[in-house]
Structure 1
Amino acid sequence: MRPSSPSGDRSSRLRLVAPFVCLALLTACGTTSQSARLESPAETGRSATPGTTPSDVPTSTAEVDVERDGLDPAVVTGVRYATHDGYDRVVIDLKGDIPGYKVQWVKEFLEDGSGEPIGVRGGAYLQLTLFPANAHDDDGYPTWKGGPVYPANLKNVGDVVRTGDFEGRVGIGLALARRAGFQVKEQSGPSRLVLDVAH
């Protein structure tokens, strides 16, 4: 019997190993293409905000009226906004105690003092009025700069509008794509008022 050559042993081993290498490569390729197919929040239209539950989405459209007497005027230092799963959020940053406020549906936004209409388009208009409050400092310089119309371009909130800063009242309007449920939350450290509006 002839002894097998080293090259013959090598080719036999290669024939045995080759199927396992191919199988490993196919498995790895399958894993890669599967992870590539996972949808990102942008592709599905969902927000990346974690932990939102249906109970977080506001449902009430009832007007809100909170009276607070004997306070020094709060100062509006800025207004921020962002979209979340199921709702848009508008945050009013304040210096001082949270003042009284009223949130109501209106037919259009009117400039405080003059009563002139403010030309913004929307399917519904939600007006927030803070009192006592100012959006300027003691020298009359604005503390909430820019505007009076701030394009938000969220899912329901199209524009945020400063409707006034007059006689201890600050008006903030939300031009919405449609009438929807909303809720107001008070937060401290620092003081801020949060207004959530459903999509």
Structure 2
Amino acid sequence: MHHRHTLAAVAAGILLTAGIGATVPAGAAGAPAPRSSAPATALVVDARWGGHTAFDRLVIDVRGKLPPVTVHQVRSLHYDASGKKVPLPGKYFLEIRLSPAAAHDAAGRSVYHGPRLVRIPLPALKGVALTGDFEGVVTVGAAFDTKPEFKTLRLHAPERFVVDIAHPVGCRS
């Protein structure tokens, strides 16, 4: 009887080991992990802007692979974790969400060197704020006096997300 239990335990161990081994990708067993200079999670490191003849440009710089980004017009901007209203002037706002992304490293130190909250005297863009770095989502808010007409670009080498905002009709730069 003891021999059957031992045989059953050995058989279960072999099956379990075979099942676990089947889940390891081919070539991964015993091979060192490939080294990469890009972080596993995209890191948002800066936000900058500039005025051009017919548009203002907001650029969000990312270290690592540029993650999916959404841009939505919202009624007001709020800080993600607290829900407090962001004190930027303007009547119209865009919320730019990068996810998965972070503005801090694995030790919790900020890697973001851009503005936390700044007023901007451009024809279209009136302010920018880092509104969130919470649970794998980084949000940046932008403020405008007139309803923004914008287009977005994903640029690489270096990785960055761009929002071009047309100047209001009748605006002279």
Q: TM-score, normalised by structure 1?
A: 0.62
Distance across 2 between alignment mates of 1:180 and 1:186: 19
Q: How does 1:13-162 map to 2 (within 5 A)?
A: 72-145=40-113, 147-162=115-130
Contact 2:47 2:114 in 1 (8 A): no
Contact 1:90 1:195 in 2 (8 A): yes
Contact 2:58 2:162 in 1 (8 A): yes
Gaps of 5+ in 1: 1-70
The residue aligned with 1:191 is 159
Distance across 1 between alignment mates of 2:114 and 2:123: 22
* Aligned amino acid, residue 110 of structure 2: P
* Aligned amino acid, residue 191 of structure 1: E
Which structure has greater helix proportion? Answer: 1
Deviation at 1:148, TM superposition (A): 2.2
Q: TM-score, normalised by structure 2?
A: 0.70
* Aligned amino acid, residue 84 of structure 2: E
Gaps of 5+ in 2: 1-38, 168-173
1:127–1:74 CA distance, 2 compared to 1 (3 A): same
1:190–1:146 CA distance, 2 compared to 1 (3 A): closer
1:95–1:84 CA distance, 2 compared to 1 (3 A): same
The number of residues matched between the two structures is 129
2:171 paired with 1:171: no
Name the SS of the counterpart of 2:89 in structure 1. coil
Contact 1:72 1:132 in 2 (8 A): no
1:165–1:156 CA distance, 2 compared to 1 (3 A): same
RMSD across aligned C-alpha pairs, in angstroms?
Answer: 1.5
* Aligned amino acid, residue 43 of structure 2: V
Contact 1:78 1:145 in 2 (8 A): yes
